Amino acid sequence: MKILNTLAEVEERLGGFLLAVLFIIVLLQILARTAGWIIVWTEESSRFLFIWIIFMGVSAGIKYDTHIGTNIFVNLLPKGKHKTAIVIKDILFFLFVCYMAKLSLSLFAMQIQFKQSAPATGLPIYFISVILPIGFTTTALRILFKIIKTIRALPKAEDSALVQRTETY
């Protein structure tokens, strides 16, 4: 768990740093266009940084449980079924993320093989798309630990029997 927490901290700090760099690049682009200059690499760089920030943010969203869309369906169920529904939802999300990690590794390998580069910056495309397998893998790890934590918090059969007995008195 300590390793995961350390990786999470590195991931969040890197995401914050990239967000600051993105802000500076976009500000530079705005100022340059206002002055009538054209800086070709700013648009492409900001797009690539934005992609990196998004995939790092998905993983952080799992950590802080801030993905709103999937919780809406869980909240429609009766209160007693919430944790079970959360586990099922997280298992399905975990399977999807693992599949996407596998596909993104294939894409990454293909981009290394073809040696394509970005037109404005000249960066190899695989340098930009390496965030896909990284992001999906870190997201899968966070979901897996969340599933384990949720299952550990589920009430045991004997605990629920005690609760039912005390409610009937």
Q: What is the pLDDT of residues 25-78, one digit of tens each?
A: 999 999 999 999 989 899 899 999 999 999 988 888 888 877 766 677 788 888
> Is residue 169 in a domain?
no
How many Å apart are CA 90 and CA 140, to the nearest integer? 10
pLDDT, tens digit, for every residue of 101-160? 999 999 999 999 998 888 888 889 999 899 999 999 999 999 998 888 888 887 765 455
The answer to whether 41 touches 120, Cβ cutoff 8 Å, is yes
Query: How many other C-beta atoms are found inside a 10 Å radius of the C-beta of residue 33?
Result: 12
Full domain range(s) for residue 82: 2-154
CA angle (29 as vertex; 119, 126 as ends), nearest 5: 30
Asked if the model's pLDDT at residue 168 lies above 80, the reply is: no
> Is residue 62 in a domain?
yes
> Is residue 109 in a domain?
yes
Number of domains in the chain: 1
> Is residue 163 in a domain?
no
> Is residue 87 in a domain?
yes
> Is residue 12 in a domain?
yes
The answer to whether 108 touches 126, Cβ cutoff 8 Å, is yes
pLDDT for the residue 161: 47
How many Å apart are CA 89 and CA 73, to the nearest integer? 9
pTM of this prediction exceeds 0.85? no
Residue at token pair 């997201």: 139
Could you tell me the end-to-end alpha-carbon distance of the chain, in angstroms, rounded to an integer? 42
